[in-house]
Structure 1
């Protein structure tokens, strides 16, 4: 049995969880929907099962419930990897530790240090540490634009597009480029996604990023600069809008294989 935690932002028109459930049904796999808000993690009776987390709300109860469930079950993605991706600071730290190129980044409480970082780069991008869907990202060009700290700041890299690579089971399986007139090219912010082939550099960088996080599947967001691809962030509960690759069927097959491995 596969237990499924639905993405809370699903809508009838954009239902990521439902797309994968339909593929599971086609494959004859058994599943049930698991409502994290309706269970006591200390008394669930769920043990030695596969739990797929399509998405969760960023609140303490759902994180703690998943943490407890992971003690006796196989959770995809693991709570640890979801929390890591939710924190841009921790994601940056792991990318740097594994030698993966990312824009120069600082996480600063000192206003003086923040101003020095800004002056060194001329323009920087402020991002909420726990932001999602491109919300709250803004360009900072003067100290007056900084606002209240602490600040997660990245050097600004001029661009007219970014790339998202979907990595599943350590393998890059699909990619899109996203284009918009705004600072962030996120589709939720008006970006338009178009499928693109996965070139070898893109594959290497995206797969290394997923490995650094230690995650079953993810969306790796990239920019291209003079030196090649640089990693903006890694999304632990990614959408796969506009992908040409059949992500729902690939995800369903991955979950089925994970469950079979558990039973072997």
Structure 2
């Protein structure tokens, strides 16, 4: 039985444990944060054959990876690449992959720089931290004054010397866009979900993050959506990737990617989802 290290013990851990066990892979939790990590302990660390995704906290992740000496399906580089929203958008656009019109602001800058940066965008615009997840800190600005007000709060955060990422993204707002998360494993899209706000929450809201109350409904993705997600994963060279797609009446774009994607219930993906995931895990373990 192959031993797989998984650094989350939330939804993904619970959902993948039994299907992977049926395929000869034992899923075990590896706590990588909110604990003491011995750096020089001579005792042998817990043994794993392979890890699913490198820990999201990069400092702890480096220490844990060095102590365990295991390969990750998605290693540190994949996590760093996907986490950098601006880097992803720039790389995909350079490869001819459609993304929303976006500009990155690197603080500190004068207000005039922000105003000039959005001169070619129409209000409202979306403002988002460059490296946050789960929709944290994402806001919509309806005019220049509200945009600069949001920027004031970002400036306060970036003023702290300990803040590592002092950048943010300003992006065109795509009204009434349908929001999809496509899953790509080893180059192939294996299904996806559409994220929608339930009727009781939809009035006056536009974010579709599951962690903010949206529901993920399994859908049969069109070939165009699948191919676009696969192109994005190939360009970023990430073997296990959630690709967020926005679709309007006349456009389909890659909005963000996630190299630490939450796995939904199996019926929301293609029938061979777990066969492909198990195969990628085994392939990664064999590279060690």
Task: Report the TM range for the smaller structure's normalisation.
Answer: 0.7 to 0.9
1:136 matched to which residue of 2?
Answer: 137
Q: Which of 261, 268, 271 in structure 2 is aligned with 1:244?
A: 268
Matches within 5 A, 1:71-220: 73-108=70-105, 109=107, 110=109, 111-121=111-121, 122-146=123-147, 147=150, 148=152, 149=155, 150-180=167-197, 181=202, 182-220=205-243
| Cα displacement string for residues 147-180 of structure 1 (whole angstroms, at most 9, x for unaligned residues) | 2345311111112421110111110001111122
Structure 2 gap ranges (5+): 156-166
Distance 1:66-1:79 versus aligned 2 partners, 3 A rule: farther
Q: Shift of the alpha carbon at 1:256?
A: 3.1
State the alpha-carbon separation in 2 of the partners of residues 118 and 102 from structure 1.
Answer: 16
State the alpha-carbon separation in 2 of the partners of residues 69 and 212 from structure 1.
Answer: 31
Distance 1:171-1:262 versus aligned 2 partners, 3 A rule: same
What SS is found at the alignment partner of 1:85? helix
| Cα displacement string for residues 168-201 of structure 1 (whole angstroms, at most 9, x for unaligned residues) | 1110001111122322111112222222212121
Cα RMSD, aligned residues only = 2.8
State the alpha-carbon separation in 2 of the partners of residues 175 and 194 from structure 1.
Answer: 8
2:29 matched to which residue of 1?
Answer: 33
Contact 2:187 2:239 in 1 (8 A): yes
1:62 matched to which residue of 2?
Answer: 60
Aligned residues: 254
State the alpha-carbon separation in 2 of the partners of residues 45 and 73 from structure 1.
Answer: 11
Matched, 1:254 2:247: no
Contact 1:23 1:249 in 2 (8 A): no
2:164 matched to which residue of 1?
Answer: none
TM-score w.r.t. the length of structure 2 is 0.76
| Cα displacement string for residues 85-108 of structure 1 (whole angstroms, at most 9, x for unaligned residues) | 112122212212322110011112
State the alpha-carbon separation in 2 of the partners of residues 60 and 79 from structure 1.
Answer: 7
Structure 1 gap ranges (5+): none
Q: Shift of the alpha carbon at 1:253?
A: 4.2
Larger radius of gyration: 2
* Worse-superposed segment, 100-109 or 246-255: 246-255
What SS is found at the alignment partner of 2:261? coil
| Cα displacement string for residues 29-85 of structure 1 (whole angstroms, at most 9, x for unaligned residues) | 3454333345446776689942222x734x342242366469x54211111011111
